[in-house]
Amino acid sequence: MSETRSYPRHVKTDAGEIEFRMMSRADEAAVLAFAQKLPTHDLLFLPRNISQPKVLSAWVNEIERGQIVSLLAVKAGAVVGCGTLVRDPHSWSPHVGEIRMVVSLDVRGQGVGRALSQETFALALGAGLEKLSVQMTVDQQAAIALFESLGFRAEALLRDHVRDVDGKKHDIIVLGHNVAQVRAQMEAYGLPGAVQH
């Protein structure tokens, strides 16, 4: 995956200064510790439970094969957030990327998620993607508000689509964003530099 943004980057948030950097194998233990502290309900939007070491290790393998890019938000050496861009250039949707994002409970509501979503969004634009999607359980009001504020709109509702550890089923909402249209609008306004990073 080609991305032209350079990392690490430092961003000031209400939670203090956050470092954004690419996740690699060296981060496996730190990301596992982060994932295991998250409520499992907050992981239902993911295809697999990342609080399990085997799943995390498969994730790192995908990063190394270049199939996904994950950005970590790090505060004072601890992982406090993660934003991932997933795409499959060999599928019928090579132009589509999925964003997956989660922030630790102790820093929520302090701007880390917004900064992380902006970074991940910029990565997707830099990779030349035309459409982005995100999905989450319908009760994730913060996530829905955040992505709607970035221009995502609801595209699908998948009823009883995921089952939690207690066997309870939850609906999933899928939001989409036609970023190609945004790029075209920027260019129409004479702002091509605004979409280069």
Ligand X SMILES: CC(C)(COP(=O)(O)OP(=O)(O)OC[C@H]1O[C@@H](n2cnc3c(N)ncnc32)[C@H](O)[C@@H]1OP(=O)(O)O)[C@@H](O)C(=O)NCCC(=O)NCCS
Q: Which residues form the interface with ligand X (CB under 6 A)?
A: 42, 45, 99-103, 108-114, 134, 136, 140-143, 145-146, 149
| In the complex, minimum distance from the CB of residue 109 to ligand X, in angstroms, rounded to a whole number | 5
| In the complex, minimum distance from the CB of residue 24 to ligand X, in angstroms, rounded to a whole number | 22
Please, which residue, 21 or 108, has the CB nearer to ligand X? 108
Between CA 170 and CA 181 the distance in angstroms is 32
Please, which residue, 45 or 121, has the CB nearer to ligand X? 45
Please, which residue, 142 or 157, has the CB nearer to ligand X? 142
Please, which residue, 125 or 136, has the CB nearer to ligand X? 136
Between CA 88 and CA 111 the distance in angstroms is 30
β pairing state of 169-178 and 9-13: unpaired
Between CA 149 and CA 29 the distance in angstroms is 33
CB atoms closer than 10 angstroms to residue 136: 24
| In the complex, minimum distance from the CB of residue 192 to ligand X, in angstroms, rounded to a whole number | 27
Between CA 181 and CA 187 the distance in angstroms is 10
